[in-house]
């Protein structure tokens, strides 16, 4: 039986590799086997069973997910000029964890990742692990 661990966080969808303003915050939640993503305005990007999501984690910590034939490059933090998460995203994130135990994330970020990258690679690794625990075919 698949372990259906809940997980939620704000990640950044890197819509352009060159333009930091197009690296936008997305609230992703994983609950009862369903992966959902909402943009800053609250619009749903996708809502699918975790088993229908595939992808891999790059060596630089980008989580490359394919959902319904569309590819999403997700990173653990935006650039200095990326939009900030909306108040609604932050509120929904807080509400998600209000009645759940804190997630078990194993080892924390490495020193270099923490210092130079704000733990962004660790952040996407926790997503990879949560997706795998929910039956998604995501590779390392």
Question: What pLDDT is recorded for position 79?
Answer: 87
Q: Per the domain annotation, does 103 fall within a domain?
A: yes
Residue 112 CA: distances (Å) to CA of 15, 42, 67, 122? 26, 34, 31, 11
Which 8-state DSSP code applies to residue 78? -
Residue 103 C-beta-side C-alpha neighbours within 13 Å: 22
Q: What is the CATH number of the domain that holds 84?
A: 2.30.29
Rounded CA separation 18/12 (Å): 14
pLDDT digits (tens, 9 = 90+) for 91-120: 999 999 898 876 656 666 555 545 445 457
pLDDT digits (tens, 9 = 90+) for 32-52: 999 999 999 999 999 999 999
Question: What pLDDT is recorded for position 77?
Answer: 87
Q: Per the domain annotation, does 1 fall within a domain?
A: no
Banded pLDDT at 70 (limits 50, 70, 90): very high
Rounded CA separation 50/2 (Å): 11
Q: What is the mean pLDDT of residues 49-62?
A: 92
* Total number of domains constituting the chain: 1
Q: Do 46 and 92 touch, CB atoms closer than 8 A? A: no
Q: Per the domain annotation, does 16 fall within a domain?
A: yes
Strand partners, 25: 12
Q: Per the domain annotation, does 102 fall within a domain?
A: yes
Q: Per the domain annotation, does 2 fall within a domain?
A: no
pTM as predicted = 0.85
Question: What pLDDT is recorded for position 52?
Answer: 94
The share of the chain scoring above pLDDT 70, in percent, equals 84
Q: Per the domain annotation, does 85 fall within a domain?
A: yes
């Amino acid at each position: 039986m698949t372990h259906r661990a809940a997980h939620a966080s704000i990640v950044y969808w890197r819509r352009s590799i060159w333009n930091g303003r197009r690296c936008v915050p997305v609230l992703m939640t994983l609950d009862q086997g369903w992966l959902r993503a909402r943009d800053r305005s609250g619009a749903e990007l996708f809502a699918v069973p975790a088993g229908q999501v595939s992808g891999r984690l790059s060596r630089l910590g980008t989580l490359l997910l394919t959902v319904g034939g569309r590819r999403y490059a997700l990173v653990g933090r935006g650039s200095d000029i990326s939009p900030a998460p909306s108040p609604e995203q932050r509120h929904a994130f807080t509400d998600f964890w209000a009645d759940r135990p804190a997630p078990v994330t194993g080892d924390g970020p490495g020193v270099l990742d923490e210092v130079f990258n704000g733990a962004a690679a660790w952040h996407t690794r926790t997503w990879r692990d949560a997706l795998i625990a929910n039956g998604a075919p995501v590779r390392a």
